[in-house]
Structure 1
Amino acid sequence: MRFDADTLTISPQILSLIAEIDEFKGAWKALGTLAPERLSALRRVATIESIGSSTRIEGSRLSDREVERLLSNLEIQKFETRDEQEVAGYADVMETVFAHADAIDITENHIKQLHRDLLAHSAKDERHRGHYKTNPNHVSAFDAEGKEIGVVFETASPFETPRMMAELVEWTRAALDDRTTHPLLVIAIFTVVFLAIHPFQDGNGRLSRVLTTLLLLRCGYAYVPYSSLESVIEQTKESYYLALRRTQGTIRGDAPEWEPWVLYFLRALQQQKQKLEAKIERERIVIGALPALSVQILELARDHGRLTIGQIVKLTGANRNTIKKHLKDLVSSSHLTQHGTGKGTWYGRG
């Protein structure tokens, strides 16, 4: 496989997308002047969306609300279903990447450690987590009854995988260091080649999205934790797979066609930053339009996940009847959702 971008034609469209994304990257310091608790709320929402979307792309059936409930109880350390195990593992790894991106260089050891942690809660994957595959794992198509009907894409063989991963990591590190290729193009090529190799027995799709986030953070795209790239991919899943297949089908030749995947990747990053711009604007409108106590209640709901009136009284010190009035207004404006009735009533994000 070739990893260089020599065969990629840098079209005006690609240049325009890169310029737009980099402009937002440069403006983030000014855009990110929301209060820390507001940024924390944005990050929590984006993290829930990312975990939910990335696991659903691979077949999970948990909604974002179910993911949110699970994340609020991660200390239980016991997850009954594979969907829950995958969510817990993804949450752990995302937290590691967000907290320590500067210290996690792209090395084979770090990639294996992230894979190990990604599957840490899955007993089914205990044997192979953190290790390259030992059996073929070609991407196959299945019929409605789950029977394999054909191979869609042939990934690297177990024998080829260690060499190809070593070459990919070496190329990525060198390309990011010498800066002759724009980092967004380097990250795009890394991702599509990683998925073509499919180095682990399972978890490759989820890990590819974790590594994409890691590389973006290491390249200075500091806004990434506040807007979910995974949710963009989930919403454009057909285009995602089509772009992957169109580029991956040419990777083993002398002239890989990077453009289908690069264009998809850059457009996804464009949508990610556009979603964040819209969220920031809405946050500013909320802050400017709502009473101070209502804003405080919203922040508590986003930080705690679910709140009762008693909890709000205790946390704010405000009068119970005043809080009820604010809660009624927040529910009617769809900022909060009321769950249950009577003494069992609690409130969560709208």
Structure 2
Amino acid sequence: MTENHIRQLHRDLLRRSGKGERHRGAWNTSANSIAAFDETGQQIGIVFETASPFDTPARMTGLVDWYNAARADGTLHPLLLIGIFVVVLLEIHPFQDGNGRLSRALTTLLLVRAGYAYVPYASLESLIKKSKEACYLALLRQMRRLRDKVERERLMMGSLPEVSAKLLDFVRDHGRLTIGDAERLTGENRNTLKLHFRALVGDGHFVLNGAGRGAWYSLG
């Protein structure tokens, strides 16, 4: 996989698209964030910010280098590797137009190269085009929900004791926590930690799993 290969594939995909010739196979040269519009065509918000034109070349170099290195050392399953590559490509959004089409073509190509005999029986392009506005609106609503949730959690974390906040952060990152882990993490004594765990369970932040020495805590 090379950057030239990606640009050439993009150029070929857009050959009959009616878009300006200068956009085909060339990295984006203007802001290209994904916006949502209402039924009147009025922009109502940015779904997500893409890489700036200044950052795009370096971001694409980094992505291609990472993919080739990860593919060579085999530390990631091919399906995970391809999935991560495509998601980051879309997050960068390196071209003015045709990023979605390119991502689907690259997905098929990389799956075939990885040994998966995958051939789509029908194109999703027409369905995606017809539903594009609804998809963007749904993404925008979800973005707002997540933003509100993050803000609520930020306020909630600010009201917790420092030790409790640290325990909650650890469980969010690792999925589970025992009292023994908490002792090593915080340096607090076991009885103090039991009080914090009891309060976190009582407030619905944690769930106690098991009993005795095998007990552990997960998110509520």
TM-score normalized by the length of structure 1: 0.37
Q: In structure 2, which of residues 41, 47, 63 is the aligned counterpart of residue 15 of structure 1?
A: 41
Change in Cα spacing, 1:347 to 1:91, as seen in structure 2 (3 Å) is farther
- For the Cα contact (< 8 Å) 1:286–1:295, is it kept in 2? no
Identity percentage of aligned residues: 30
- For the Cα contact (< 8 Å) 1:301–1:348, is it kept in 2? yes
Tell me the distance in 2 between the aligned counterparts of 1:310 and 1:92: 35
Deviations 1:33-78 (A, max 9, x none): xxxxxxxxxxxxxxxxxxxxxxxxxxxxxxxxxxxxxxxxxxx99x
> Could you list the runs of 5+ residues in structure 2 that have no partner in the other structure?
1-15, 20-35, 51-74
Change in Cα spacing, 1:94 to 1:305, as seen in structure 2 (3 Å) is farther
Tell me the distance in 1 between the aligned counterparts of 2:164 and 2:186: 11
- Quick one: higher RCO (CA 8 Å, sep 6+), 1 or 2? 1
State the partner residue of 2:192: 322
Spell out the pairing of 1:1-350 with structure 2 (5 A cutoff): 12-13=38-39, 15-16=41-42, 18-21=43-46, 25=49, 91-96=80-85, 102=92, 107=102, 110-112=106-108, 115=111, 126-128=115-117, 133=119, 138=121, 155=122, 192-193=124-125, 244=127, 258=129, 260-350=130-220
Change in Cα spacing, 1:102 to 1:269, as seen in structure 2 (3 Å) is closer
Residue 334 of structure 1: how far off its partner (Å): 1.3
Residue 99 of structure 1: how far off its partner (Å): 6.3
Deviations 1:288-340 (A, max 9, x none): 21111111001110111111110111111111111111111111111111111
User: RMSD in angstroms over aligned alpha carbons?
Assistant: 3.8
Change in Cα spacing, 1:274 to 1:261, as seen in structure 2 (3 Å) is same
Larger Rg over CA atoms: 2
- For the Cα contact (< 8 Å) 1:21–1:269, is it kept in 2? no
> Could you list the runs of 5+ residues in structure 1 that have no partner in the other structure?
27-75, 78-87, 121-125, 139-154, 157-191, 197-243, 248-257
Tell me the distance in 1 between the aligned counterparts of 2:117 and 2:196: 52
Tell me the distance in 2 between the aligned counterparts of 1:313 and 1:274: 37
- For the Cα contact (< 8 Å) 1:301–1:349, is it kept in 2? yes
User: What SS class does the counterpart of residue 170 from structure 2 fall into?
Assistant: helix
